[in-house]
Amino acid sequence: VALRSAIRAGRLRAGTRLPSTRDLAHDLEVSRGVVVNAYEQLLAEGFLVARHGDGTRVAPLALPEMGRPASPARRVSVPPSAPVPAERFPVGETLTYDLRPGAPDLSAFPRELWLSALRQALRTLPNSALDYPDPAGAVELRTELAGYLGRVRAAHADPDRIVVTHGVAQGLFIVIRLLAAEGGRRIAIEDPTSPRQLPLLRAAGAELIRIPVDAEGLDVAALAGTGARAVLVTPAHQYPTGVVLSPRRRAALIAWARDVDGIVIEDDYDAEFRYDREPVGCLQGVEPGQVVLAGSVSKSLAPGLRLGWVVAPPWLAARVRDFRADTDLGSAVIEQHALVHLIASGGYDRRLRVMRRIYRTRRDALVAALRVHLPGASVRGVSAGLHLYVELPAGVAEEAVVAAAADRGLVVAPAAPMWSGGPARPALVLGYSRLGPSRLSEAAELLGQVIIRGDSG
């Protein structure tokens, strides 16, 4: 029933490949027979088509067009860019215990899978595809992403709403630059937030307004009082606290956006990794006219690919595309087509399933070890993503802990730079993606020694 209504509503687009009956049965924790029966029923009703060697896909259907009329493009004025602060930690250095947040396990990058996807792209691409590309991204990738995001994130995505970008970062930069150039310089952001994003948001011309985050996520009432008409949020898994935007706050945020005819920019940076249940669908699927969804393969594959997307209302997607045409002539073609093959073959889904299991085990191991070695600390947020937000016992000096840990080869991020006025309690943000369970236990023990015993030697 859920599949049928998703196809009818256009969330599952024609041509979208569905998971195998075995994989779906595993994900839903039902017997395979249940899924086989459901697929057969939908095949019989004409909602699905199955071809040998190509799996089961959503059948072509006439779907209603949505969206608002495109308004004429305007010239964008370019404010001077802000200086980029130095990286906090050296890039590429090997550390004993690397608990920096922000990246997946790079040693698990599926090199063979990517190589065969690249090969397939090179074998099949016509010469003409190697010319300057469509600045919105290859239509094949936008089509595949529309299907994927509809299926996995309940997004309302079609190829005309999607622009392929160099990661979430470029998507945020361009969208905010365009809004700022039209007089919408006041951009609300979460407090706390990712400090890495602040320079790029400022460089885009934004005047940033910090909105508190509590146990339910962004404080929408506080947002409404600011006069801002655009807000950047991480609703599926707030960065860094790990809170999920509550159902009533989601409703309030959508109501706010409709009320002020505003734009919600939804940073969906790690939504594929939810371990205890299915992630809540994206906000964009609820109100595609007011929400821009930004995502990338930075957490699912590797940040070094610099491959992401925005899904925007058609009028804004057209302007983002024009901005790419005017400024950098689009994204690298061969990698875009490699991603097409990876998603279409089911390899991307399989990869996510494997990594979800691995990261869940790592998260559980770190949480368990912190309970033993750092009993005064509390772990915040839901079971998701690639990092933990850990509040330390009151009175502990965050910076001193970070420095003492670094002396012992353990690199962790302090929470203070993520808050506009500092955190209420000292805290650390621990990325657990790179280390196996036993190394994470050792790291927790070391952290316990540093904090409880003040042992920095």
Two tokens, residue 81: 């860019």
**What's the per-residue H, E or C state across 308-360?**
EEEECCHHHHHHHHHHHHHHCCCCCHHHHHHHHHHHHCCHHHHHHHHHHHHHH
Q: Report the distance separating Cα 233 and Cα 188, nearest Å.
A: 9
Cα dist from 208 to 14, 187, 307, whole Å: 40, 5, 26
**Dihedral sign for Cα atoms in the order 171, 172, 178, 179:** positive
**Residues within window 3-32 making contact with ligand PLP, judged by CB under 6 A:** none
Q: Report the distance separating Cα 163 and Cα 320, nearest Å.
A: 7
Two tokens, residue 111: 């090199």
Tell me the closest approach of the beta carbon of residue 384 to ligand PLP, in angstroms.
13
**Residues within window 215-234 making contact with ligand PLP, judged by CB under 6 A:** 234
Number of residues that bind ligand PLP (CB under 6 A): 13
Cα dist from 206 to 75, 82, 180, 266, 416, whole Å: 17, 11, 6, 16, 22
**102 belongs to the binding site for ligand PLP (CB under 6 A):** yes
Closer of 194 and 433 to ligand PLP (Cβ): 194
Instruction: Fill in the per-residue mask, 173 to 202: x = in contact with ligand PLP (CB under 6 A), - = not in contact.
Output: ---------------------x--------
**269 belongs to the binding site for ligand PLP (CB under 6 A):** yes
Closer of 194 and 449 to ligand PLP (Cβ): 194
**298 belongs to the binding site for ligand PLP (CB under 6 A):** yes
**Dihedral sign for Cα atoms in the order 434, 439, 441, 443:** negative
**Three-state SS for 170?**
helix
Range list of β-strands (E), 77-216? 97-98, 162-165, 186-191, 207-214
Tell me the closest approach of the beta carbon of residue 126 to ligand PLP, in angstroms.
29
**272 belongs to the binding site for ligand PLP (CB under 6 A):** no
Segment contacting ligand PLP (CB under 6 A): 165-173, 242-250, 317-325, 446-454?
165-173
Closer of 339 and 374 to ligand PLP (Cβ): 339
**429 belongs to the binding site for ligand PLP (CB under 6 A):** no
Tell me the closest approach of the beta carbon of residue 324 to ligand PLP, in angstroms.
15
**433 belongs to the binding site for ligand PLP (CB under 6 A):** no
Residues that bind ligand PLP (CB under 6 A): 102, 167-169, 194, 234, 239, 267, 269, 296, 298, 303, 308
